[in-house]
Amino acid sequence: MSLTGPLSRLTPIAGLLQLVENLVFKGQVINLDGYQFKNCAFVDCTLRTSIGNFKLQECYFQGAWWADFAGRALTVTRLASILDLEASDAKYRAVVHPNGGVTIL
Amino acid sequence: MSFEPGKLLQNVELKLKGRTAVLGIGEGVMVVALWVVLKDYALHPLFSTVSSLSLLAGIVGFLALGLLGKTRPEEVPDKSFLHVDQMGIYVAQGIGSHKDLLHLMKQITGMKTLPPPSHLVRGSATNPADYVPLNSSQASEIVHQIESGVAKLLTDFVKQTTAEGGERQLPEGGQEKPSEPPPIKGKLFD
């Protein structure tokens, strides 16, 4: 199969997810985007997303797990940080200027 | 004005659009010449033998050049990818292989290969007592299955999307939902 030749148009694929079920990941960096995790456990894992294209259903987080945001997801996280700046990690925090102005780059 | 064979060949190539055409024509000419020199073999056996051997070498050489020669920059199709966010369409052009296509689709969905799992869950993921340890080959097999599932999911999606000539209208009410992908379940070793 090839897309060569006439232009090929693809409709949006935000909902195109591969289902992954009944697995435990331990001490790994998991790129969540593109997957739907169901009944999975993440033990001491870093969960990473760039575009927020994922689903988690009845998953379990255990140990020293961490969420890592990049790309568009990072921008959204910085916006969300305004809700509770003190609770946010510096990397994921919006810049609030002394005059009250907010910068998110 | 001097005659430069290299420039002539380049000019011919440009007019014939590509090295393959030139090689094909060259092969044809040599086959005809071979037939001519062998036709009158009885009249000049030595000449025919030498000529036909040379022509055979040329035919094989051209064939090898065509099949084994490296792709030149002008022979690689331009690959482009355009995403019109507001209209929600992706336009891909110049994707010549299935591997490239899957790579592109993985980029669009943000998919990256998952690391090997450590356990299966037989029951609830919230209960560590339900975890069954995996050895490295079992874990690798599951990763392989997931990768195969991803490839099938993306391939089916492109097939489905391009089945109607790449032009398809979205159903009323917004984005269409792709068909449910086959699940990758931790049930390999039951």
Residue B168 to residue A11, Cβ atoms within 8 A? yes
According to the model, what pLDDT value does residue A48 have? 94
Residue B177 to residue A15, Cβ atoms within 8 A? yes
Alpha carbon distance A69, A76 (integer Å): 9
Instruction: Please check whether residue B166 touches A, CB under 8 A.
Output: yes
Alpha carbon distance B105, B97 (integer Å): 12
Rg (CA), chain A: 18
Task: Give the pLDDT mean for A45-53.
Answer: 92
Task: Give the pLDDT mean for B148-175.
Answer: 66
C-alpha closest to that of A37 among A24, A19, A49, A25? A19
According to the model, what pLDDT value does residue B172 have? 42
Residue to substitute from A16, A49, A50, interface B, most B β-carbons within 10 A: A16
Q: Which residues contact B51 (CB under 8 A, 6 or more apart)?
A: B33, B37
Q: Which of A3, A18, A29 is closest, CB to CB, to B150?
A: A18
Q: Which of A4, A24, A25 is closest, CB to CB, to B95?
A: A4
* Residue ranges covered by each domain of chain A: 12-69, 70-105
> Could you please report the per-residue DSSP string of A20-39?
EESEEEES-EEE-TTEEEES
Q: Which residues contact A83 (CB under 8 A, 6 or more apart)?
A: none
In eight-state DSSP terms, residue B41 is: T
Residue B176 to residue A11, Cβ atoms within 8 A? yes
Contacts of A27 in chain B (CB under 8 A): 118
Chain B residue whose CA is closest to A73: B110
Weakest mean pLDDT among A10-19, A51-60, B22-31, B38-47: A10-19
pLDDT exceeding 90 applies to what percent of chain A?
Answer: 47
* pLDDT above 80 for B170: no
B131: enclosing H helix or E strand: strand B131-133
Predicted ipTM of the assembly: 0.79
Residue B110 to residue A34, Cβ atoms within 8 A? yes
Alpha carbon distance B116, B93 (integer Å): 34
Q: Which residues contact A37 (CB under 8 A, 6 or more apart)?
A: A20, A21, A54, A55, A56, A57, A59
